[in-house]
Amino acid sequence: MPPSKVLITGASGLLGRSVAARLAELGYAVTTMQRSASGLTGVRELRGSLTDPDAVARAVEGQDAIIHMAAKVSVSGAREEFENVNIRGTEQIFDAAWAAGVENILYVSSPSVAHAGESLVGASAGAPDPVHAQGNYAQTKAAAELIAQERTSLGTNVLIMRPHLVWGPGDGQLTHRIVARARSGRLPLLGNGAALVDTLYIDNAVDAFTAGLRRLPQLAGERLVVTNGEPRPIGELLIGIAEAGGARRPRLRVTPGVAKAAGLAIEKVWAGASRFVQMPGDGEPPMTKFLAEQLSTAHWFDQRRTRELLDWRPSVNVEEGLARLADHVQRTGSVL
């Protein structure tokens, strides 16, 4: 029998909120835990931090399964902040699950945990590498994924899923930042923008995670990258999302080498200044070395094993996703 009582951490973000809403519609008894309100109805919502053992224990108690999505996601910030949430928070979840007898955990990771900066072309879900992954986010998520793998060997049913670049209406992360930066003229296209990149439209992500939950514990021990399976030139994707969001086509072009050098310098200045003043825009630096690599190297993944094991296929292609985003923005006046 599939689990009926499910805890979702990180439901204030688009993916967590959307998965929680879908599972509630399907009849699951859903509990969410995050620091800020999710805005959901029909779920039991708990507010708390992953670093608070008592709060985590209350959330985990009585659950059949956990979908652990909560993380610090950023291209900047103090290393300790990433470690507290992404590593120690994950340890808290697994420790509380063990104590409460919760055997099924769907751990949400990222393809960046196995990305050392080079192009990924038709790649599989490589092993997490905390040493060579790029940046604090990827390194701490890689360390957390190793924790998840270790708990699998101890008897917990853990399925690791790595969604790649989730976007769509309501997304305050990737989609909002692309559109906001395009509107302000701060969205660069690196080189010729031809590096192939795959993404994941939000509706497809929700379907994939629902399928993953249904197949626990049969898929315990697996790690799966999840994408639309439609690699596109990065320039084409950035332009498409920007225009669907009501922004002008980005025209700023920078060579990858210049962007990486500038990103490295900006990171150092940004890290120091952000401790004393409120940084402009979305609070993220305009460029980092990691971001420059992501915008100038190919990263797309072989989806055959993911689709076979999940018995899942994306239902919304990139063109339809862009049309839905444009319609949402025209109706609401906002990406969010």
Instruction: Write out pLDDT tens, residues 134-165.
Output: 889 999 999 999 999 999 888 899 999 999 99
In this prediction, residue 78 has a pLDDT band, given cuts at 50, 70 and 90, of confident
Per the rule left: phi > 0, alpha: psi between -120 and 50, beta: everything else, 278 is beta
The 10s digit of each residue's pLDDT in 242-259 is 999 999 998 888 888 887
Residue that wins the pLDDT comparison between 9 and 281:
9
The 10s digit of each residue's pLDDT in 270-321 is 666 655 555 556 667 877 777 778 888 999 999 999 999 999 999 999 999 9
Q: How many CB atoms lie within 10 A of CB 40?
A: 19
Looking at every residue in the chain, the average pLDDT score rounds to 92
Q: What is the Cα–Cα distance from 283 to 326, expressed in whole angstroms?
A: 25
Options 28, 107, 137, 201, the catalytic residue:
137
Closest CA to 233 of 277, 278, 203, 193: 193
pLDDT score recorded for residue 190 = 87
Strands 196-197 and 232-233: antiparallel
**DSSP code of residue 128:** P
Is residue 105 within 8 A of residue 94, CB to CB? The reply is yes
Q: Is the pLDDT of residue 53 over 80?
A: yes
Token match 């094993």: residue? 305
Is 28 part of the annotated catalytic residue set? Answer: no
The 10s digit of each residue's pLDDT in 10-51 is 999 999 999 999 999 999 999 999 988 888 999 999 999 999
pLDDT score recorded for residue 264 = 77
Secondary structure (3-state) at 213: helix
Q: Could you say which of 3.40.366.10, 3.40.640.10, 1.20.1600.10, 3.40.50.720 is the CATH number of the domain covering 5-166+200-227+299-315?
A: 3.40.50.720
